[in-house]
Amino acid sequence: MMAGLITGATVGAALALLYAPMSGKELIGALRRHFDNARADAREAGMRAEADILARYQHVKSASLDATPGPERLAAKVA
């Protein structure tokens, strides 16, 4: 999947260079800004996913601890 993304980006960049109405320097600057923005968006999405995963983990961990009987509950069951 990643190879397809890289190949598509490379082919797209090459076609853009051939058919763009901008100069090469302008186009390279525009592409650099575009990829910098894409990188920042991906980083933000990763951070949001990490926060979501950690929140879900804490929820499951808390629910697990609530469901696990403590020493008092175990003593009551034994007696």
**How would you write the pLDDT of the chain (79 residues) with one tens digit per residue?**
677 888 888 988 888 777 767 777 887 898 899 999 999 999 999 999 999 999 999 998 888 777 666 666 656 555 5
Q: Phi and psi (nearest 5°) for 46?
A: -65, -40
pTM exceeding the 0.85 threshold for the entire prediction: no
The rounded distance, in Å, linking the Cα atoms of 34 and 5 is: 15
For residue 18, give its domain range: 2-78
Rounded CA-CA distance 71/36 in Å is 55
User: 């879900």: which residue's tokens?
Assistant: 56
Taking CA atoms, 8 is separated from 12, 64, 78, in Å, by 6, 45, 66
Task: Give the count of domains, the chain.
Answer: 1
Q: Is 45 helix (H, G, I), strand (E, B) or coil?
A: helix
